[in-house]
Structures are given as C-alpha cells and as structure tokens.
Chain A
Amino acid sequence: MKIDKKTIEYIANLSRIELSDQEKEVFIHQLSDILSYIEKLNKLNTEDIKPMAHSINTTNVFREDKLELPISREDALYNAPSTMGVFFKVPKVIE
C-alpha cells in the first residue's frame, strides 16, 4: 500500500496539520516505506485471534460522586494563550 498525494492531504487534514509541497513529498516517501514494512503483518492468519487493547486486566474504577476541586479555575486558565475573564478565548468559530 503506497501513499499518494491525495492520501497524504487527506490524513494531514484529519490530523489538523498543514504541509508544504516539499513536506508532502518527504512524508509520502517515508510513510510509504513504513507502511510497506508494516504489511509484513499480513503474512499472519489472525482470523480466530481476539484483538488485545490492554496487557493487564482492567476494570472500571469508580469513586463517590462528590465534588472535588483538583485545581482552581485560576490555575486552569494560567497556561492558556488567550483568555477573557473566566473563559478560554479562541478565534471566530462560525464564519
């Protein structure tokens, strides 16, 4: 499976990453190489094998539904590039 220009543009958009034409060329080449390598998985018949998401048994962890304040609003906003009062400020969402 080789990546072409259309595919790289599609996944760059899914990833919210902009690429120059030159970057597209480099990534097309590198991702194609990596995917060719990954295709070795197709040598294995995995029809009856269950997929594995976690290596140890995990169960849901519940706690009392009590209000906790791990960090203050001030702390939560401290690292934001732009704020207005108690809000995160972002550029226009709807044109």
Chain B
Amino acid sequence: MNKNIQIIREESLRLLGHTALQIKEKILSREIQATELVGKLFEWIKDIEPNVQAFITVNEKEALEKASEVDKKIANRQKVGLLAGIPIAVKDNICTKNLTTTCASKILQNFIPPYDAFVVKRLKEEDAIIIGKTNLDEFAMGSSTENSGYKITRNPWNHECVPGGSSGGSAAAVAADFSFLALGSDTGGSVRQPAALCGVVGTKPTYGRVSRYGLIAFGSSLDQIGTFTKDVKDAALLLQVIAGNDLRDSTSAQVPVPDYLHGIDSGVKGLRIGIPKEYFAGGLNTEVSKAVKDALKLYEKLGATVVDISLPHTEYAVAVYYIVANAEASSNLARYDGVKYGYRTGESRGIIDMYCRTRSEGFGNEVKRRIMLGNYALSSGYYDAYYLKASKVRNLIKNDFDFAFGRVDCIICPTSPVPAFKIGERANNPLEMYLSDIYTIPANLAGIPGISIPCGFSETGLPIGMQILAKHFEEKKILQIAYAFERETDFHLKKPPLKSSSV
C-alpha cells in the first residue's frame, strides 16, 4: 500500500475508532464537522466492507444530507439532539421510511416502508445519522447471519467465522468501526450473542421498555429492540433515546425512563452477584468459562459478593423457545401472501396457488422450517402437547429468575457457550445452531434485561462476552455493573485486524 494512503487510513481509523460520546463532543465543539466525519466513514466502509459484508443497503446520500443539516444547526448555534451527528446503522428488520427494508428476505426485497419505526423516529428527532441497513438472518431467524437471503456477513476478527446472529450485520458494523452505534433486535439472543462474538457491547432491554412499532414481527411476546455500542456509556446514551412508552405498541411499558448515564460510575460495592451453576455445566468452552470466572474475581476485588445460585429449569429453555417463538412466527408470517407488499410469484392458478408459490419462492429454508414447526405446535390435536406445555414451562423458567432475584442483585454468566464458530460449521444442523442461544434465550422467555460486554479473548484471538442479567426494568443497574468492569479492563478497546479490500 502507498505510504500516504496508509497514513490517511490510520488517521481516519483513529477518528472512527472513537466512541459515540467522544465523537459527539468533537462535533459539538466543531473540532470536526459531521459531513467530514460521514465522508471519512464511507471511505472506510468502501475499503473494508467487501471483506465483511455487514450492510444490505447503504444510505450515503441521505446520510450526507443529514450531516450537513446537523453542521448547519451547530454553526447557527441551534439546539441539537442527543445523538447530534453520530452515525448509526439499523438492522434491516426495522422500518425506515423511504429506505428499503428487506428483513434479509427475498419476500420483502423491494419493500419501501411508508413509515418510520418508533425507534427510527426517535433517532431522527435526536439528529442521529442513519448510514445504512444491516444484514441479518432472514426474519431474524438464526444465530449466525448465514440464513440471510442476500449475503453472509463475516466476523471482523476472523473472516472465516460467523459474526453470530441474527443481528450479525449490526454487530460486525460496530466492531469494524463502520458505525459508532447500531440497532438490532433480540428475540432469543440476537443482540447479545453477536455482540459477544464480535467483541462489542450488546444490550437487550426489558420486554416493553422499547416500542416494537415498526419492528417487523417474529415472536411478539419475546421480540425487543436492542443496541450495539463500543462501550457501556454509549449503550446508556442510545437506550436513553429509544426507551419509553409508545401508544402504538400496546405492550410498550408505562414505566418512567431513568437517566441511564447519571451515576453509571456508582460501582459494585456491596452488590450480590448470582452465578447460576447450570450455565457452567457441560458444553461450555473452557476459554469462555475461564474468562467469565476471571471477571467474577475482578468483581469480588471491586467489593461485590459472588453467590452460587440455581436456575433449575435452564435445560428446558431452548425447547420452550422453539415452540413459543415459532408458534408466534407462524402467525406473524402469515401476512406475507403476495398481496399488499413484497414479492409475488409469476403465473398462478387462483389465489391459494398464488399464496403457496409466493411463499415457497420467497422464504428461505430456515423460515419455512420454523413456520411449519409453529403451525404444527398450534394445530388441532397438538396444541396442548406442545404450545400449552411450553407456555407452562415458560412460567417455571420465569419463576426461577424471580426466586433468584430475591437473593441476588444480578446474575452473571457467559453470553455464548463458544466464541465465534466457522462459517458453514453448523449450517446443516438446525438443532445444533439453536443450542448456540442456550444462555440468552431464558432472559427473553422471562422478559428481563441483559447486556453482553467483552470480557476476554480466545487463544486464537476471538472475542469472548459475558452477560449480566437483572430484574425487569433494571437496565440502569446492569449498565452500572457493566461499567464497573469495563473501566478496569481494556477488552473493549481492542480492534480487529481489518484488511483493505483493494490490496
């Protein structure tokens, strides 16, 4: 590489390597203009993205227009929003007005939403710059982003590995410094697991904390929009913007939103941390286990008490999830019928034939598998044995957490049993893929909030994440606990070894 290009690249990487709060300060103090930042960002994306494939759609023109609008506001000393000039990527299952939203499915390949999701509206109100829509497993169904109908996203730390999923594009975009912030969705771990595999911070709020209006539905009693950030303070910043009640989502909670950044440095002295023994049993990679146990030692040093607890129904969580989530999905995905939007088959014999052909041609295999499994579990004669049974066991899983939180302030455990696995390794065994989410699914079933933060690296240099869980609506507490660890460690500061696509 030409030496000058090398220097320019290093300079722009230093700039793009900042956190959102740091870059916001630079924009507000006019040390850098938002337009200049966005320009450099897209140069970087064009150079590196061919090796990563995090985006389905990039939004360069509109991003530059918005940046220029923010610059003008700042120059004129007008009031600017909480995310003024900060580039953000949005998972492609969250509706963006006039910007294609595909859900990584062929069935929505040309879908242009006529409205913004609640969270997108909030981003725009706070002057964030939406730079593009990120790749995912089709309809958020998967744990590796290999099920996308468009492309396979690669892990920025090792291009032969998956970024995790389903929000793999958002996780990779933040890890590769394509974006300062990103939004994802988490139905069974789709924010926390890819965050862990890509070495970034992933937050899943309490069910109902963030409006699902405009999030394309998968499992409606489990879905929650979450955030990807480079550190914990940025997670607090972004959650502040998207949390809150919305009348257009009837499950959106009417619970006041606290100031998440205020007191984030309160520490963990006197805190009781629960360690669920079931999460450290067979199947857990030894490097992951060691990294999390080392983190617990640090917490003890910081004044917290570590307590052994039990969540006895953990082993049933994956089974419950694949009935409940897919039953809900089979109903939610009935709307893709080739009538109101999306793909429609060419020739057909009547309307039923049109539905069948459209869906068979438009959906990928994982989506078909889940719709069929869901319809089976809900069908006459099987409803009690599967759906009802799973709904009852779900209650037992929630009771496990209720009981545990009577004794401890939070629970800490691994986010994923393994670091990033190789592309293709689990693609032909759906059940094995489902077990990737064994540590993240219980939080969705119980509706509680969770955060995954970097806590180490494997010998081969792959990131390891740990998860902090707390009671409903205790996002503020998990952010404080996460920050107490982060400020003592430098795992979140390490950057992946990215190569230019032009050399």
Contact = CB atoms under 8 A, between A and B. Distances in A.
Interface of A: 3, 7-8, 10-12, 14-19, 27, 30-31, 33-35, 37-38, 40-42, 44, 46, 49-56, 58, 60-61, 63, 70-72, 75-76, 78-82, 88, 90-93, 95
Contacts of A12: 372
Contact of B375 (A15, A63, A92): A15
Given A15-B372, A80-B341, A33 B390 contact: no
B375 A37 contact: no
28 contacts: A3-B376, A10-B379, A11-B379, A15-B371, A16-B359, A27-B372, A30-B430, A30-B431, A31-B369, A35-B373, A37-B431, A38-B319, A40-B316, A46-B389, A50-B392, A51-B395, A52-B391, A54-B251, A61-B250, A71-B115, A75-B114, A78-B112, A79-B341, A90-B351, A90-B354, A91-B348, A91-B351, A92-B351
B356 A49 contact: no
A54 to B, nearest CB: 5
Contacts of A14: 375, 379
B251 A58 contact: yes
B379 A18 contact: no
Interface string B140-171: 00000000000000000000000000000000
B25 to A, nearest CB: 36
Interface in B325-348: 330, 334, 337-344, 348
Contacts of A70: 115
Interface residues of B, number: 71
A49 B447 contact: no
Contact of A55 (B322, B351, B352, B446): B446
Given A15-B375, A16-B352, A90 B319 contact: no
B323 interface: yes
B207 A46 contact: no
B217 to A, nearest CB: 15
B350 interface: yes
- 7 nearest interchain CB pairs? A55-B447, A51-B391, A79-B341, A75-B114, A81-B344, A52-B395, A46-B392
B388 A27 contact: no
Nearest to B245: A61
B371 A52 contact: no
Given A17-B372, A41-B320, A63 B247 contact: yes
Nearest to B355: A16
Contacts of A60: 250
A41 B112 CA distance: 42
Contacts of B357: 18
Contact of A52 (B206, B319, B376, B398): B398
A18 B356 contact: yes
A72 B115 CA distance: 10
Nearest to B206: A56
Given A52-B395, A92-B351, 5 more contacts: A15-B359, A16-B355, A19-B368, A31-B369, A56-B447
A25 to B, nearest CB: 13
Nearest to B435: A37
Contacts of B354: 90-91
Contacts of A31: 369, 372-373, 376
A52 B392 CA distance: 6
A59 to B, nearest CB: 9
Interface string B95-112: 000000000000000111
Contacts of B299: none
B363 interface: yes
